[in-house]
C-alpha cells in the first residue's frame, strides 16, 4: 500500500503577525466609497480602452441594504507576478463594482515589469498591497487571506477580471441561500483573437470534486469561516486541491450568471506547454499521493458526464445580448456557446 503524503499547510496567523510586524495595520481599510461611483476618481483609462471596466462602472450601491443592515464585507485577494499588461483591468473590475464594503488585497512577487507602477497608481483605492519576492502563487494567496477580514472571500488572478455587478449578485445570493460556497458561470477570453466563450458551471457535488476544472476560481466565493490555506508546494493546481479540502460537507450553490472572465494567452498556466510538467507533478507526485484513490473511477466518469448533461439541459446560459449590454465592449466577439463536456 502506498504511503499517504502529508499536506504541509502554513499557519495564516503567523503570516498575519509577520505582516503586522512589517507595518500592516489590521483590520485593513475598506476600499474608499464614492456616492457618484469611483469611475470619475480613478486614473483615466488606457488609450483606446472603452467599455467595462474602463469607461463603464456598476451603479453605486447604497451603503445599507433594504433591511437597513450594512452589506456584508467581501475580501478579494489578487496574487500577481509580471502581469503588468493585464493587472490594471483586473484592478478596475474590482474597484468599479462600487461595492460599499470591500477589502482588496494584492500581493506581487517582485515583478520586474510595469506591475509595481500600476499598483502605485491605484494604491489610494487598495486596502493593502506589497511588491516583494515570494515563494509563488500559493504563498501570495495565503499572505493575502491572512490579512483578510471579510465575511466572504474570493481570489482573482491578475490576468482575469470580474463581470459588472458580480459582488452585488454574490452577496445577495449568499444572503438568500445561506450557502457556504457559491460558484458561478464563467467566460473565457482568448487574447489572440479577442473571442469570448461562455461556460455554464457544472453541478458541484462532493463526489465530483476529483474532476479537474469543475470550478472556475475567478467565479468562486466562500464564507470566511470555512477558509483553509493554499498548499504552497503546488505550482498549478492550487485551486483544484483547495476545493478537495474546503468543500466536502459544505453547502454549495450555483449562481447562474458569469461572474468572471478568464484570459487565455500564451503565458496562461492552463495553455502553455511549459507548465505541462508542473501540472503533472502537482497531480502525480502530490495531490494523488495525499488523497485516497477513487474506486470505480471509470464508472464515476460515466456518471459525471451523464449527470452534467442532464443538469445543463435545465441550466441555461445567460444570453449574449445581456452580457454585451453589461460589458459594452466593441473589441470582443463571441465564439459558439457550448457547455464544458470534457473533464480532466
**All residues at 6 or more sequence positions from 342 whose CB lies less than 8 Å from its CB, including other chains:** none
Give 239-287 pLDDT, tens digit per residue: 999 999 999 999 999 999 999 999 998 777 776 677 788 989 999 999 9
State the Cα–Cα distance between residues 280 and 277, nearest whole angstrom: 5
Task: Check residue 194 and give its pLDDT.
Answer: 94
Give 67-126 pLDDT, tens digit per residue: 999 999 999 999 999 999 999 999 999 999 999 999 999 999 999 999 999 999 999 999
Task: Check residue 341 and give its pLDDT.
Answer: 41
Cell of 287: 495531490
The three-point CA angle 340-343-344 to 5° equals: 140
Find out whether 15 and 128 touch, Cβ atoms under 8 Å: no
Determine the average pLDDT of the residues in 136-157.
98
**What DSSP line would sit under 268-319, residue for residue?**
-TTT-GGGHHHHHHIIIIIIHHHSPPPTTHHHHHHHHHHHHHHHHHH-PPPP
Determine the average pLDDT of the residues in 119-143.
97
Task: Check residue 275 and give its pLDDT.
Answer: 75
| Segment holding 31, helix H or strand E | none
In the chain, the domains with their CATH numbers are 12-334 (3.90.550.10)
Map residue 238 onto helix, strand or coil: helix
Amino acid at each position: 500500500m502506498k504511503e499517504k503524503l502529508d499536506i504541509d499547510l502554513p499557519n495564516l496567523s503567523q503570516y498575519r503577525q509577520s505582516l503586522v510586524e512589517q507595518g500592516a495595520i489590521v483590520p485593513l481599510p475598506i476600499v474608499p466609497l464614492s456616492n457618484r461611483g469611483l469611475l470619475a476618481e480613478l486614473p483615466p483609462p488606457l488609450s483606446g480602452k472603452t467599455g467595462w471596466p474602463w469607461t463603464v462602472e456598476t451603479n453605486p450601491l447604497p451603503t445599507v441594504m433594504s433591511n437597513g443592515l450594512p452589506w456584508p464585507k467581501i475580501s478579494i485577494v489578487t496574487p500577481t507576478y509580471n502581469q503588468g499588461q493585464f493587472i490594471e483591468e483586473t484592478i478596475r473590475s474590482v474597484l468599479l463594482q462600487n461595492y460599499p464594503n470591500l477589502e482588496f488585497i494584492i500581493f506581487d512577487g517582485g515583478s520586474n515589469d510595469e506591475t509595481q507602477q500600476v499598483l502605485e497608481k491605484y494604491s489610494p483605492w487598495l486596502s493593502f498591497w506589497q511588491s516583494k519576492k515570494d515563494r509563488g502563487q500559493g504563498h501570495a494567496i495565503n499572505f493575502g487571506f491572512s490579512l483578510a477580514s471579510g465575511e466572504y472571500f474570493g481570489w482573482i488572478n491578475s490576468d482575469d477580471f470580474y463581470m459588472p455587478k458580480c459582488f452585488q449578485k454574490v452577496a445577495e445570493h449568499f444572503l438568500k441561500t445561506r450557502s457556504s460556497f457559491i460558484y458561478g458561470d464563467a467566460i473565457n477570453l482568448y487574447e489572440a483573437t479577442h473571442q469570448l466563450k461562455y461556460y455554464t458551471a457544472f453541478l458541484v457535488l462532493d463526489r465530483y470534486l476529483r474532476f479537474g476544472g469543475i470550478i472556475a476560481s475567478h467565479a468562486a466565493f466562500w464564507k470566511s469561516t470555512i477558509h483553509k490555506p493554499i498548499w504552497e508546494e503546488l505550482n498549478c493546481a492550487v485551486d483544484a486541491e483547495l476545493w478537495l479540502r474546503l468543500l466536502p460537507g459544505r453547502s454549495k450553490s450555483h449562481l447562474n450568471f458569469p461572474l468572471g472572465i478568464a484570459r487565455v494567452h500564451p503565458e496562461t498556466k492552463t495553455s502553455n506547454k511549459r507548465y505541462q510538467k508542473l501540472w503533472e507533478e502537482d497531480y502525480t507526485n502530490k495531490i494523488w499521493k495525499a488523497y485516497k484513490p477513487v474506486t470505480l473511477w471509470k464508472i464515476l466518469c460515466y456518471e459525471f458526464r451523464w449527470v452534467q448533461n442532464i443538469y445543463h439541459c435545465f441550466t441555461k446560459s445567460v444570453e449574449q445580448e445581456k452580457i454585451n449590454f453589461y460589458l459594452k465592449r466593441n473589441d470582443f466577439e463571441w465564439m459558439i456557446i457550448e457547455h464544458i463536456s470534457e473533464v480532466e
